[in-house]
Structure 1
Amino acid sequence: MEGSLRLPLLIVILASLMSPSMAEIKTLEISDDSRQVILFENFGFNHRGTVAIALSGVSISSPAAAPAIDPSLLGFFLVSDESLIQAAYDSQQNPNPSSYPDCVLKSPYVDVLFTFESLSPPPPGGAYNNSFTVSHPDEYSLYFANCGPGAAAVTMSVRTETYNTLPDGSRDYLSVGKSPVPSLYTFFAVAYAVFLGGWIYLTMFQNRLSSHGIHYLMAGLLLSKALYLVFAAEDQHYIRQTGTPHGWDIPFYLFQFLKGVLLFTVIVLIGTGWSFLKPFLQEREKKVLMIVIPLQIIANIASVVIGETGPFIRDWVTWNQVFLLIDIICCCTVLFPIIWSIRSLRETSKTDGKAARNLMKLTLFRQFYIIVIGYLYFTRIVVYALGTITSYKYRWVSVAAEEIVSLLFYMFMFYMFRPAERNQYFMLDEEEEEAAELALREEEFEL
């Protein structure tokens, strides 16, 4: 029993730590939901922020033998990140559970907006509509709390609206730290469009005879990335202006899917040397593609569910876990073809008498392997850490860091495997051959 006294507050802390920043007008139906806390929004407010909540059709059901439910035990509240940190600190410093309230609505760390005592008429069929001003700038999480005894379940229609009022009186539905994101996406969309133009000139005109199938696939990757950023910028701008989801949903998710599939496919094909060093794929390499592409389809389905819903649905955490697990599997899978190519080049260098050529190829694939690992590590771990530890005012920094590193990765990969009329791997003299053979012997001795 004592452990349950702290449970509501701990659930709030954990849920807020894993929730993303969201900034849209949300309209949803909750049916027979008995969860203790439900997270609706996580939003960064300026000094003129507003939270608007409208409820209708509110009803509460409980087991027949249960006592009447006190309406003051159900309601909505805001809690800031600073208060969450203080609550977590106090929970560690004070081991006495009796000092914690058995309802999070009675915690000194939360700002209660209203309870079901304010509904008119009372449930069933209760309704409520009001706006609340957030005078202290910070990042807040909006929750519904249900401290009713037993298995009390709530049914209601909820409309939430969170926004900041700008000096000109207009509303900004993007969190403070996300306001620069549309401009960032627009900038990088232009950067990739210029990149694509240069790549087309290089492959189609300047070195057309030296271009291979992989180079045209790389052009498709740049195109899908540029279009994804265009629609992402439009999507975020539309949210900022209207608060409703979204602008062009289908193109956005389509190019998000194509971008992910083409990126992993290009990494796999370059890692195998397809088209650039050999015209065919081995059976095991085909299997890698047959694993990666379906996984990307599932990952994008999970991404759509996450993007179109929110933490208020029961399975939202599960969908996030599915997306994370699949992304990790894809990241690990695409490394195998590069490792296979490195091993193959090391073995053939001992027998085919072309030591210098193989040493150059071996060096190339080693560099590519390191760059891919660094890119995947940064975009999956460092970017998440930046989004977690930076102030809510600078959440755009993680977006900028991810796009900068992605652009640098693309530029490095495209430069390494660009079409060239005089390929350095085939223009080697006898002295380079002898030096390469010596280097390979030394490497074999070290291994």
Structure 2
Amino acid sequence: MAVSERRGLARGSPVEWGPRLLLLLLLAGCSGRIHRLTLTGEKRADIQLNSFGFYTNGTLEVDLSLLQLGPQKTEEKTPLVGFSLTRVRSGSVLSYSPQEPYDCPLQKNSSNLLVLFLINTKDLQVQVRKYGDQKKLFIFPGLLPEVPSNPGPPKPGPSATPKVDSVAPSTINKDGPVLSTVSQESQQGPSRKDKELVLDLNLHDNSYNFSFHVVIGSRAEEGQYNLNFHNCHNLIPGREQPFNISVMIWEKNPEGFLSAAEIPLFKLYMVMSTCFLAAGIFWVSVLCRNTYNVFKIHWLMAALAFTKSISLLFHSINYYFINSQGHPIEGLAVMHYITHLLKGALLFITIALIGSGWAFVKYVLSDKEKKVFGIVIPLQVLANVAYIVMESREEGASDYRLWKEILFLVDLICCGTILFPVVWSIRHLQDASGTDGKVAVSLAKLKLFRHYYVTVICYIYFTRIIAILLQVAVPFQWQWLYQLLVEGSTLTFFVLTGYKFQPAGDNPYLQLPQEDEEDVQMDQVMTDSGFREGLSKVNKAGGRELL
């Protein structure tokens, strides 16, 4: 029975991805944590298939349904094609360990390497080599048997798990957790056979296929696991041999299909969505109480808060369905990507408009500011397209890393570009504070702009740098703190920006200059801001008093 028929998840033939954004939106997230990767004419030597955090009784199932290789050398003693299973205890960034050029991972033992699946096409077998003291990391041929929907005796089928050496087959109870049983021989200590298992490799129409599943049997084996495919024949540039591969992967923890670091995200995004919704409602109430001082930018800030709340709501719902079904609902995924696109565009546009002083002190943007918006808006569209493509494609796809680099680069460019309007406004206020005769108001606005500049810098720093460092430093089950820091920093940034630029009569950003108060406040403002030296004050009677 085919894998798609046994699981009931692959509906129809594989879809070829087109360049249109709408097609990407409709197909986004359809695989979820049940991965299906098909590569044709691939020439890469190393392919990272997936990364997943497993708890005790977590399972990894791999079904290699098609593998077509080029001409192989028969004199090779060690197979140069196969899978590797590695574990990284703190952060997925550390999973990329440097290696020498032309160095085959299948012929080298690493500190993180746990299991090698060496595909021997000559003898039609797969050699399983375990490294380290992995007593409770169980490996079995075939896939896990299905849980029957109706009570009754189990029906034997090709997906049943046969017994391998000294380890008994694993079973699944009604609630989903995997229960592993070990024979008496395995409990006494690992044997040579347990160290090197042998799986059958099938050959059909010049295509190899086999399947296996891994069970995490104890807390000592919990961690972040990476599954990679290696074809060491393609290590030497210019001698690559194209190959075709189709593999399907199921990853599951006892609580569902989410990785250990993703299990709390459903509740986290739901709580943060409520917080942004409450902030948006409170902001609208403030605008309704101060209608005289409300500008268009204030309503744009309210729209940003509500859009962010809706985006997080759809994100939370997606994680709920991924955890229960292994893939999200396509319609909800489309809504999430649409709101995510609107949120990203509104965020950078709002920051740039506030920094330029639009609607508060002027209603026309300068040519330089128009160029900034002409750069930021298209870049934000490109960044969101890259995000959608990354979410839609499998991690092992050929262009996955390219779109990931595009997203990172575009995001950095946008973060740097939106700072220019704030810097220009600060320079403008510095020049105006000593020439327009309204020093008190100009310096108060200058101080506010400087605070806003520092706030934007801190927001970028926390969400782009500190959050990544936190993800690397914490253990695998606590990597959800990365999302908590990002969303918490975003909420704090929204609240501080709203407080600084609230529509109140005593806000220096909105305050009109008063001639009677200017002379009284000027001495104190100039003394506090350091602009006293070299300036003079002109009295209304026509005299000049040196300061």
* Range class of TM-score, shorter chain: 0.7 to 0.9
Hey, what does 1:228 align to over in structure 2? 311
Structure-2 change in CA distance of 1:304 and 1:68 (3 Å): farther
Cα deviation code 1:78-130 (max 9, x no counterpart): 101159979969x8xxxxx8xx9744265363312463523213661322233
Hey, what does 2:344 align to over in structure 1? 260
Distance 2:96 2:488 in 1: 36
Equivalent in 238, 248, 254 of residue 159 of structure 1:
248
For residue 388 of structure 1, report the CA deviation from its aligned partner: 1.4
Secondary structure at the aligned position of 1:426 is classed as coil
For residue 70 of structure 1, report the CA deviation from its aligned partner: 7.6
Equivalent in 281, 284, 290 of residue 207 of structure 1:
290
Q: Does 1:143 align with 2:145?
A: no
Equivalent in 95, 119, 122 of residue 115 of structure 1:
119
Secondary structure at the aligned position of 2:358 is classed as coil
Equivalent in 308, 317, 333 of residue 249 of structure 1:
333
Hey, what does 2:487 align to over in structure 1? 403
Hey, what does 2:147 align to over in structure 1? none
Distance 1:294 1:438 in 2: 44
Q: Structure 1 stretches of 5 or more lacking a match?
A: 1-21, 92-96, 167-171
Q: Please say if residues 24 and 245 of structure 1, whose CA atoms lie closer than 8 Å, have aligned partners that are also in contact.
A: no
Q: Please say if residues 440 and 521 of structure 2, whose CA atoms lie closer than 8 Å, have aligned partners that are also in contact.
A: yes
Structure-2 change in CA distance of 1:102 and 1:438 (3 Å): closer
Higher-Rg structure is 2
Greater CA drift, 175-184 or 302-311? 302-311
Distance 2:470 2:448 in 1: 31
Distance 1:164 1:104 in 2: 28
Cα deviation code 1:264-290 (max 9, x no counterpart): 111111011111122221121111111
Hey, what does 1:6 align to over in structure 2? none
- TM-score, normalised on structure 2? 0.70
Q: Does 1:26 align with 2:109?
A: no
Structure-2 change in CA distance of 1:409 and 1:35 (3 Å): same
Distance 1:388 1:182 in 2: 22
Hey, what does 1:4 align to over in structure 2? none
Hey, what does 1:432 align to over in structure 2? 521
Hey, what does 2:88 align to over in structure 1? 81
Q: Does 1:367 align with 2:456?
A: no
Q: Please say if residues 67 and 207 of structure 2, whose CA atoms lie closer than 8 Å, have aligned partners that are also in contact.
A: yes
Distance 1:445 1:181 in 2: 58
For residue 295 of structure 1, report the CA deviation from its aligned partner: 0.5
For residue 198 of structure 1, report the CA deviation from its aligned partner: 0.8
Higher relative contact order (CA 8 A, sep 6+): 2
Distance 1:297 1:262 in 2: 11
Cα deviation code 1:42-90 (max 9, x no counterpart): 1111111111111223211238xx558789432222101159979969x
Structure-2 change in CA distance of 1:119 and 1:246 (3 Å): farther
For residue 400 of structure 1, report the CA deviation from its aligned partner: 0.7
Distance 2:205 2:467 in 1: 45
For residue 151 of structure 1, report the CA deviation from its aligned partner: 2.7
Hey, what does 2:261 align to over in structure 1? 177
Cα deviation code 1:388-413 (max 9, x no counterpart): 12110101111111111111110000
Q: Please say if residues 23 and 175 of structure 1, whose CA atoms lie closer than 8 Å, have aligned partners that are also in contact.
A: no
For residue 321 of structure 1, report the CA deviation from its aligned partner: 1.4
Equivalent in 98, 103, 106 of residue 104 of structure 1:
106
Q: CA RMSD in A?
A: 2.9
Greater CA drift, 291-300 or 281-290? 281-290
Structure-2 change in CA distance of 1:381 and 1:441 (3 Å): closer
Structure-2 change in CA distance of 1:160 and 1:71 (3 Å): farther
The percent of aligned pairs where both chains have the same amino acid is 30
Distance 2:95 2:304 in 1: 46
Secondary structure at the aligned position of 1:255 is classed as helix
Aligned residues: 410
Hey, what does 1:55 align to over in structure 2? 64
For residue 427 of structure 1, report the CA deviation from its aligned partner: 7.1
Q: Please say if residues 70 and 148 of structure 1, whose CA atoms lie closer than 8 Å, have aligned partners that are also in contact.
A: no
Q: Does 1:276 align with 2:360?
A: yes
Hey, what does 1:128 align to over in structure 2? 210
Q: Does 1:358 align with 2:442?
A: yes
> More helix by proportion, 1 or 2?
1
Hey, what does 1:9 align to over in structure 2? none
Secondary structure at the aligned position of 2:240 is classed as coil
Q: Please say if residues 33 and 154 of structure 1, whose CA atoms lie closer than 8 Å, have aligned partners that are also in contact.
A: yes
